[in-house]
């Protein structure tokens, strides 16, 4: 009969296996997977470092570790990911949040620095609701609308905002990019419009790293032949959606800044200087103003 291992020993063993598999942060990911499998938070895991793990739980942990070694992202395994210092639940229809998307939140908060500003916010392609939630939590007098073409994604977003205490200030629309002008939202104008649209050229999706290519929803990645289809559709809507003081903040893919600015100019929109770079120095958050603000 094989002996039972302590949590400390299992952490060391899992980290070594992840390192051998080429995982970049083996120790951190081993801790996350161990915490998830045992149902313990970080503090409880440290306190239980000398606890032996029953064989049945170790077998469950083994299955989880194998999923990671085979390329499934940790966030897909645990079903949650941190963004803007909050934990968000995920679903098969939602992207795993990336740190670079926090650049949009930073840019938006700089545009509206007054904490108590009564903003009307629209999040186009809301997914798990991370952008809308981040703004509503930082601006307690703001209210917002999250739009997505996936009902399942909207269910995830709704749950996230309810858990974070901002659900009462959020409404939801299921539809394409034009749906914000339909139904109850006809004539609505927004002070802040956010979007992290699909922007990967169709032919490049098969070249993405496996964690993205296999496990992220293709609809949230595929930007059409040149990666710009969603920008064309969104920017066409902005003149009808932005308030007089409004601004849109769009996430960009690598090398797309000039092309998206040109699309915006064609619709009478003006860019607020260069896009705000992410931590890697890549132009990431492009700010656009309505025609009256040119």
pLDDT in single tens digits along all 294 residues of the chain: 467 889 999 999 999 999 999 999 999 999 999 999 999 888 888 888 888 998 889 999 999 999 999 999 999 999 999 999 999 999 999 999 999 999 999 999 999 999 999 999 999 999 999 999 999 999 999 999 999 999 999 999 999 999 999 999 999 999 999 998 765 566 689 999 999 999 999 999 999 998 899 999 999 999 999 999 999 999 999 999 999 999 999 999 999 999 999 999 999 999 999 999 999 999 999 999 987 554
122 vs 194: CA distance, rounded Å: 6
Contacts of 96 (CB under 8 A, 6+ apart): 73, 75, 76, 81, 90, 211, 215, 216
- Give long-range contacts, CB 8 A cutoff, 24+ apart: 32-35: 32/74, 32/78, 33/61, 33/64, 33/65, 33/68, 33/74, 33/77, 33/78, 34/7, 34/10, 34/61
3-state secondary structure of 194: strand
Q: What is the pTM of this model?
A: 0.92
């Amino acid at each position: 009969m094989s002996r039972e291992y302590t949590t400390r020993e299992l952490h060391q063993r899992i980290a070594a296996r992840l390192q051998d598999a080429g995982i970049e942060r083996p120790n951190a990911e081993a801790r996350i997977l161990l915490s998830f499998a045992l149902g313990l938070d970080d503090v409880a895991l440290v306190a239980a470092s000398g606890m032996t793990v029953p064989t049945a739980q170790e077998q469950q942990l083994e299955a989880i570790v194998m999923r990671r070694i085979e390329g499934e992202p940790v966030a897909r395994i645990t079903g949650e990911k941190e963004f803007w210092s909050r934990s968000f639940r995920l679903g098969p229809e939602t992207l795993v949040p990336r740190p670079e998307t926090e650049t949009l939140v930073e840019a938006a908060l700089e545009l509206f620095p007054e904490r108590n500003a009564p903003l009307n916010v629209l999040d186009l392609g809301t997914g798990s609701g991370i952008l809308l939630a981040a703004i509503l939590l930082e601006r307690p007098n703001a209210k917002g609308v999250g739009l997505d073409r996936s009902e399942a994604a909207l269910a995830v977003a709704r749950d996230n905002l309810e858990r974070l205490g901002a659900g009462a200030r959020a409404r939801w629309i299921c539809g394409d990019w034009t749906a914000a002008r339909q139904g109850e939202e006809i004539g609505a104008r927004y002070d802040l419009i956010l979007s992290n649209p699909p922007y990967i050229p169709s032919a490049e999706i098969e070249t993405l790293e496996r964690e993205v290519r296999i496990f992220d929803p293709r609809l949230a990645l595929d930007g059409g032949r040149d990666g710009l289809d969603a920008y064309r559709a969104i920017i066409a809507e902005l003149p009808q959606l932005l308030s007089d003081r409004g601004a849109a903040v769009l996430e960009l893919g690598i090398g797309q800044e000039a092309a998206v600015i040109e699309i915006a100019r064609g619709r009478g929109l003006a860019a607020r200087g260069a896009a705000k770079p992410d931590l890697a120095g890549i132009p990431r958050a492009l700010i656009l103003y309505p025609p009256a603000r040119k």
